[in-house]
Amino acid sequence: MTEESWAGWYRDGHGSDAVILTTDGQQLRIRTRGVDFEGESFDGLGPVAGVPPEGAEFTLADGVLDDCVLEWDLPLPVLVAGTVRQATLSCLLSLRRSDPDLALALHLDGAVYESARAAGDFAAALATIQRILPAGIRLQTCIACAFSDYFPVPVRGLSGALACFRGAKDAYRAAADGGDVAELWDRRTGFVQEIWSCQEFEARPAEGAGTGHRGAFPLEHA
């Protein structure tokens, strides 16, 4: 996968700093106040060096950033009347270890489509946006893809636990429930961020085979 970089802000009790968030769809990385942080989930960003250098002012919980706010924009592909367009997704994430607060807003043609405030995770927030989009407009990100799914467990986390089955497309097309996904789990290509998109995107079917554990998008299971 190629990398993308998104401009944003990092804020905490010590101030506000411009940052660049870089991702290849799997690993996330930000640099702020001269310190590099990385992780596979937005609530799992730990210092690359293990601990911040002496004098660096950050709050960590279990070794990852906590008690701070991340804000960034990214281009997000959407299908409008059969044509791929680039919208902008604005992301606001308040990282509190016990209760992260996520809000997403999709900007397209002068209109804004917002998720529920304090959404539980990126999957739920993106599903909320898809539900309120006008007919004929579809998100084209990994969460809406025909080849992505979560392992059949009650909790999936804030982001990054979405498995991609682009290397086993035909097998996943036959998956109709959680049991089928569990049997295919070891054939996953890897994990991806819900807001990532690649050239192998295909829309999820509305029902039956190919809807796997989480079902059609946005009518997904937890």
Encoded tokens for 114 = 């917002």
Segments in 91-185 forming alpha helices (H): 122-132, 169-173, 178-184
Question: Alpha-carbon Rg of the chain, whole angstroms?
Answer: 18
Q: Report the alpha-carbon distance of residue 22 to residue 5 in Å, rounded.
A: 4
Judge if pTM exceeds 0.85. yes
CB 68 within 8 A of CB 97: no
pLDDT tens, 73-121?
999 999 998 899 999 999 999 998 667 789 999 999 999 999 976 567 9
Is the pLDDT score of 137 beyond 90?
A: yes
Tokens describing residue 159: 């982001």
* pLDDT band for position 206 (cuts 50, 70, 90): confident
Q: In the predicted model, is pLDDT for residue 222 greater than 60?
A: no
Q: How far is residue 64 CA from its own chain's centroid?
A: 18
